[in-house]
Amino acid sequence: MAEKIAVLGAGSWGSVLANMLTENGHNVILWSRNKGQVEQLNNEHLNPRYMKDFVYSAKLKATTDMKAAVEGANVVLIVIPTKGLREVAKKLNTILTELHQKPLIIHATKGLEQNTYKRPSEMLSEDISPENRQAIVVLSGPSHAEDVAIKDMTAVTAACEDINSAKQAQKLFSNSYFRVYTNDDVIGAEFGAALKNIIAIGAGAIQGLGYHDNARAALITRGLAEIRRLGVAFGANPMTFIGLSGVGDLVVTATSKNSRNWRAGYQLGQGKNLQDVIANMGMVIEGVYTTKAAYELSRKRQVQMPITEALYHVLYEGEDIKTAISQLMDRDLTSENE
Ligand SMILES: NC(=O)c1ccc[n+]([C@@H]2O[C@H](COP(=O)([O-])OP(=O)(O)OC[C@H]3O[C@@H](n4cnc5c(N)ncnc54)[C@H](O)[C@@H]3O)[C@@H](O)[C@H]2O)c1
Ligand SMILES: O=P(O)(O)OC[C@H](O)CO
């Protein structure tokens, strides 16, 4: 059944998901705060800052008016970086109160909030009142926008404690090249999604330094061990970390040149300065901020996250990457399962 869907956020992922939902037969309106971007999407079907050379469906409509996008929508998909999520959620909440609407909320944000360490669904559940929404579903998994744009095979997870809502999201997004699985472990899906970006920066950095396949495999595997440790400490199902929103997303992000996090790490490994890397990317590098939040959270909870800690020292205290690697390798020898 065709649904009316509002997509909030017209960056790389929001715009490609909006396009795919349109091609799935839904009535989609894409909201962006940027007038020039909206005009170019509506008139030329292009969004070159985020998806160079990709031509969007002529049926996809964009607007800078969030109320117009949301009016009549029974589903709202939020694809805003963690840093801007609360601002957008608060605005959406006001609009939903005015419109007396109660849509299903789906989000695809991958990060943890600075200082509070909250997951995106926790932030959304605080800022969108229960009377203004149905359940909150997390869409996560190995899914670079660039691959989805060209209809490459992709499989992701729709996670929600209310499994019927997860199934609703599964139906909306699934098609011949985009396969959605359900999961009821929101905590695991969101920790996997946020923390893999840290390890992807590390994987990029060691490749930028000239290390090879063994080093990358070691980093990914031990990275997964610490992602699981933190997630499980907060109640996640350990099985989720061997699923799409765990190892799946970790592998794609830590091995792909399409990953902004991997690319940022690679440039750091080659000696570039962090501020220049952020400025030149022009798109969000969630892992830079998640490293700080996860490092602080792991210390608070007394969970061992040596790779995250090493990266924190590099990103926030200016430690040399080679020194950080030596310190990681020189730690006391231990069991793999601790
Ligand atoms: N790009 C991908 O392939 C991909 C895939 C899966 C998940 N994600 C996740 O989706 C989220 C968005 O990523 P992206 O790649 O689309 O980012 P992006 O940097 O490409 O675009 C972000 C968009 O959000 C808008 N935005 C940011 N703050 C805002 C605010 N306060 N108010 C209004 N608009 C705001 C920007 O203007 C921009 O249009 C991130 O958490 C990312 O980790 C991205
Ligand atoms: O480009 P990245 O590093 O933000 O990764 C995008 C997605 O999270 C991959 O699943």
Site of tokens 């139906």: 171
Pocket test for ligand 1, best of 284, 286, 288 (most atoms within 8 A of CB): 284
CB-ligand 1 contact for 79 (6 Å cutoff): yes
Architecture of domain 191-329: Orthogonal Bundle (1.10)
Q: What is the dihedral of CA 33, 107, 86, 102, to 10 degrees?
A: 90
Q: What is the pLDDT of residue 338?
A: 78
> Model confidence over 86-121: pLDDT tens digits?
999 999 999 999 999 999 999 999 999 999 999 999
For residue 337, what pLDDT is reported? 87
Q: Is the pLDDT of residue 36 over 90?
A: yes
Contact partners, residue 39, CB within 8 Å, separation at least 6: none
The protein residue with its alpha carbon nearest to ligand 2, atom 7, reads: 144
- Is the CB of residue 145 below 6 angstroms from any atom belonging to ligand 1? yes
Whether 248 lines ligand 1, by a CB cut-off of 6 Å, is no
Tokens 């992922």, located at residue: 13
What are the DSSP calls for 56-88, one per residue? PPTT-EEES-HHHHHTT-SEEEE---HHHHHHH
Which residues pair with residue 28 across a beta bridge? 5
Confidence of residue 1 (pLDDT cuts 50, 70, 90): confident
* Residue 12 confidence (pLDDT) above 90: yes
199 pLDDT higher than 90? yes
Question: What architecture does CATH give domain 4-184?
Answer: 3-Layer(aba) Sandwich (3.40)
Q: List the domain boundaries for the chain.
A: 4-184, 191-329
Q: What is the pLDDT of residue 205?
A: 98
**Which has the higher per-residue pLDDT, 337 or 33?**
33
- DSSP-derived letter for residue 54 is P
| pTM, two decimal places | 0.98
Instruction: Express as a percent the part of the chain with pLDDT over 70.
Output: 100
Binding site per annotation, positions: 12-13, 33, 50, 110, 141, 143, 145, 196, 249, 259-261, 284, 286
Q: How far apart are CA 238 and CA 243, in angstroms?
A: 10
Q: How far is the CA of 332 from the centre of ligand 2 (A)?
A: 33
Q: What is the ipTM of this complex?
A: 0.99
CA angle at residue 141 from 89 to 221, to 5 degrees? 125
The percentage of residues in the chain with a pLDDT greater than 90, rounded to a whole number, is: 99
Going by alpha carbons, the residue nearest to atom 22 of ligand 1 is 11
Q: What's residue 193's pLDDT? A: 98
* Binding region for NADPH: 12-13, 33, 50, 110, 145, 260, 284, 286
CB of residue 249 inside a 6 A radius of ligand 2: yes
- pLDDT tens by residue, 288-304: 999 999 999 999 999 99
Beta carbon of 260 within 6 Å of any ligand 2 atom: yes
Q: What is the pLDDT of residue 23?
A: 98
Angle at 124 between CA 177 and CA 67, to 5 degrees: 80
* pLDDT in the model for residue 104: 98
